[in-house]
Structure 1
Amino acid sequence: MSRFPEHPAWDFITRLYARPDVAPACLALQERHDIDVTLMLFCLWRGTVGGSIPDGEMAALAAAARDWREATVLPIRAARRWLKQQPEQYGLYASVLATEIDCEHGELLMLAQLAGSLDCKGQPAAETMAANLETFFHAWGVRPDEQDRPAVAAILAAAKAMAEARRAPPQQPVT
């Protein structure tokens, strides 16, 4: 994996993706609607820092994400999926998977730079995360239906729990 500058959004989305039920929910939405999971999770992170993403800004972020995704992530993902089916891949699968993750990391840093000027109230809010998620789906041209609701609910619940845990005061040691 490449060395990238640290960014709290990357830390958040990798921890979120690792939570129970989140990865399968993200992959189900990705397979069903061809969404950009990195952008979707970035929108949730913005909500944790009180950053709302209005429709116009989301359209710009979605366009940049589509360009990045089509030029880097999707071709590498196709190669990774093909390699996974090859009996003698000579260890290339793991390398290509790492490269795919690096491309997603690069996308996230690009999104963070583009969104740097967006309004940030500094108050994490469940409502802001939900609104950003709704704006994301609208910009991506997706109307989540009944089949999508469990996946969306799992992702949003995990993001809210992470945001609340971060805001909770530190536990005092018991003496």
Structure 2
Amino acid sequence: MEKPAFLDRVWQQMGAVHKDSDLAAACLVAQERFAVDVPLLLLLCLADQHRSAPALADLPAYFAGADAWRQAVIVPIRAVRQTMKTAFNAPAELQLRYEIKRVELEAERLHVVRLVQSYPTVTTDQTATAPIYLARCQAPDDQAQAFLSTFAAAFDAQIRLATAKG
């Protein structure tokens, strides 16, 4: 089956919505409080906006694949960078931390590539999947809804508005 068209520009759209300072802050809170996989969450939010949500039956395997990469690659890189942030501040150490941050971003980009390549079949019932993922991460309903509202506002400002202008 053919992949949804939005996947061709998902990394660019993630970057665009993440430029919104409220959404960037909400992503950080979700990541720190609920161990949310931000690239996965943003991809699901974009899928919901583009009415291209994956079939619910495919979500457990999709989430497991995402978790495997995140735990094996992204989490350890982030842990090293965060540890260095509080303890090592000599100029050469700051340069190394900057390089680790660059590697972390590249690992997240590759994570998105993997998510796109393994994207499940699109469902016809269009059940929103981002709220399902947030519930899986045990985000309370009010905080999940606040995140989704923040995402929707960022999407409208950064994607819909840009599309309407261009």
**Normalising by the residue count of structure 2, what TM-score does the alignment of the two structures yield?**
0.81
Contact 1:48 1:129 in 2 (8 A): no
2:132 is aligned with 1:135 = yes
2-structure distance, mates of 1:103, 1:7: 18
Q: Quick one: percent identity of the two aligned structures?
A: 24
CA distance in 1 between partners of 2:127 and 2:29 (Å): 19
What CA distance in whole angstroms lies between the structure 2 residues aligned with 1:24 and 1:141?
A: 18
Greater helix share, 1 or 2?
2
For 1:37, the equivalent position in structure 2 comes to 38
Displacement, 1:163?
Answer: 4.4
Instruction: Tell me how far 1:80 sits from its aligned partner.
Output: 0.5
- What is the Cα deviation at residue 169 of structure 1? 6.6
Structure 1 portions without partners, runs of 5+: 1-5, 122-127, 171-175
Candidates 78, 87, 90, aligned match of 2:89 = 87
Contact residue 45 and residue 129 of structure 1 kept, 8 A: no
Gaps of at least 5 residues in structure 2 are 1-6
Letter in 1 for 2:20: R
Alignment partners' CA distance in 2, 1:102 and 1:152? 25
Partner of residue 101, structure 2: 97
Residue 148 of structure 1 and its aligned partner are, at CA, apart by 4.9
Q: TM-score if structure 1 supplies the norm length?
A: 0.77
Asked if 2 retains the 8 angstrom alpha-carbon contact of 1:49 and 1:120, the reply is: no
Runs of 4+ in 1 over 6 A off after TM superposition: none
Report SS of the residue matched to 2:118: helix
Deviation at 1:57, TM superposition (A): 1.9
Number of aligned residue pairs: 157
Does the 8 Å contact 1:58/1:135 carry over to 2? no
Q: Aligned partners of 2:17 and 2:51: how far apart in 1?
A: 17
